[in-house]
Every structure is written in C-alpha cells, then in structure tokens.
Structure 1
Amino acid sequence: MTGALAPTKPLTAVDRCDRCGAQAYVRAVLAGGGELLFCAHHGRKYGETLRAKGAEIHDETDRLLETPAPPPEDER
C-alpha cells in the first residue's frame, strides 16, 4: 500500500452537507479513513482545522460561480 488516497468522484446535487443538509461542495477525506461532506459555508468553517489534523480537502466551491450555458437558439 502506498498511502496515496484514491481519487474521489465529483460531488453531485445528491451529496449533502453533514452539518446542515445543504448541497455539498467540499469533501474532507480523513487521515484515519472516512469522509465528511460540507456546504461551502461549513467547508470554510471547518476546512483549516480538518486540514491541520491531516484531512485532505477537495474544494469544489468554484462551481458556485459557474454560469450555465444558454440553451441553443432552436430551444429558446
């Protein structure tokens, strides 16, 4: 075993924050195994503390800034 973490799947709309139930955008993979999911707010609140304890943080909050593509002309 190399100790490297397996890549994680991108978070989807069904992934919910373990703290408040909102859509999750942050995954904390814990050093001892397991993971926690957080919304952007709780990810910011707990992220640095978890990182300091050895968790690997996968932050997808940049997706909140994405603008959806407009529909094609023939679908407007």
Structure 2
Amino acid sequence: MTTTTITSPELTTLDRCDRCGAQAYVRVVLESSGGELLFCGHHARSVEATLKPLSSKWHDETARLSEKAPVPVD
C-alpha cells in the first residue's frame, strides 16, 4: 500500500470564504470527513476555537493581509 501526501496549493483570489464570499485566507480540512472549508480572516478567527480541534489541517495565510504590495517604479 502506498500513501500519497497532497499538499494544498497557496490560496488564490479565486478561493472564496464559505461564509461571506470574501477572499479566503484559511483552508480547513475536517478530520472526520476530509471535507474542506475556506474562510476569510474574520470568519476563520470566529470559528477557530470550535473547528481547529476537529481539523486535520489548518492552512492559514492571513499573514499575507499585512504584506505590502511592491511600489511600481516609473
């Protein structure tokens, strides 16, 4: 038997929060079903205490919210 590990790709602007439709920055994989949920930073924080213990993976990219975009040089 071979076990394959699939790594989740970085979240993109096409990934949307399941609660409000904003850009998702957190991917949660539920341990019981393997189901995947996507959340914006706000909603991820609001469900973290409940869902984190039930998840097999908590992929958090909210640090990208504080990154500064490069300034174009003329």
| Fold equivalence (TM over 0.5) | yes
Q: TM-score, normalised by structure 1?
A: 0.83
Q: What are structure 2's unaligned runs of at least 5 residues?
A: none
Q: How many residues align?
A: 73
TM-score (norm 2): 0.84
Match of 1:17 in 2: 17
Q: Is the 8 A contact 1:24 1:40 kept in 2?
A: yes
Partner of 2:72: 71
Instruction: Look at both structures and tell me which one has the larger radius of gyration over its CA atoms.
Output: 1
Separation in 1, partners of 2:50, 2:2: 25
Q: How has the CA–CA distance of structure 1 residues 2 and 54 changed in structure 2, closer, same or farther, with 3 Å as cutoff?
A: farther
Distance 1:5 1:53, change over 3 A: farther
Taking only aligned residues, the RMSD between alpha carbons, in angstroms, comes to: 1.9
Runs of 4+ in structure 1 displaced over 3 angstroms? Answer: 1-5
Map 1:1-76 → 2, pairs under 5 A: 6-31=6-31, 32-72=33-73, 76=74
Unaligned runs of 5+ in 1: none
Shift of 1:54: 3.2
CA deviation vs aligned residue, 1:22-47 (integer Å, no higher than 9, x gap): 11001001112120000000000112
Identity %: 53
Tell me the amino acid that sits aligned with residue 16 of structure 1.
R
